[in-house]
Amino acid sequence: MKNDFRSYDRQGTGNDAAAGLLLVLIRGVLLWALVPIGFVCWVLTVALVRVPLPQFLGWLDNNLVFLLQRGPLRVGFPEPSVSWVYVRDIATVQHRIRWSQDFA
């Protein structure tokens, strides 16, 4: 499964559109907390993880989207558009936080 939720097929029923809108809204609110907390965690663990900040934040965001799709939005996403990425696999993450990606 691809680690890039932009590949999610957005064509479908009205429930798919509602779930996608909820994902964008909830993710947007949570990113306000995730980015500053993620930055502090990256500073504290940079010697251990050895990845650039954008890749680390992308890993956090990727797993946030996965958790939202497997948790509160499970009904709207029968199959998650991203897969869970373990800490040992941070170096393989291609996903990055882009401010316009949800609307492209």
Q: Could you report the per-residue pLDDT of 52-82, keeping only the tens digit for each? A: 998 999 999 999 999 999 998 888 888 888 8
pTM of the model: 0.76
**Residue 40: pLDDT over 90:** yes
Provide the number of structural domains found in the chain. Answer: 1
Q: What is residue 103's predicted lDDT score, i.e. its pLDDT?
A: 41
Domain span at residue 62?
Answer: 39-104
**Residue 16: pLDDT over 80:** no
User: Is residue 47 in some structural domain?
Assistant: yes
More confident residue, 15 or 49: 49
Tokens matching residue 102: 């949800």
User: Is residue 73 in some structural domain?
Assistant: yes
In whole angstroms, give the CA distance from residue 82 to residue 62: 7
In whole angstroms, give the CA distance from residue 28 to residue 14: 21
Tokens matching residue 8: 């999610």
Confidence of residue 47 (pLDDT cuts 50, 70, 90): confident
User: Is residue 68 in some structural domain?
Assistant: yes
In whole angstroms, give the CA distance from residue 93 to residue 67: 16
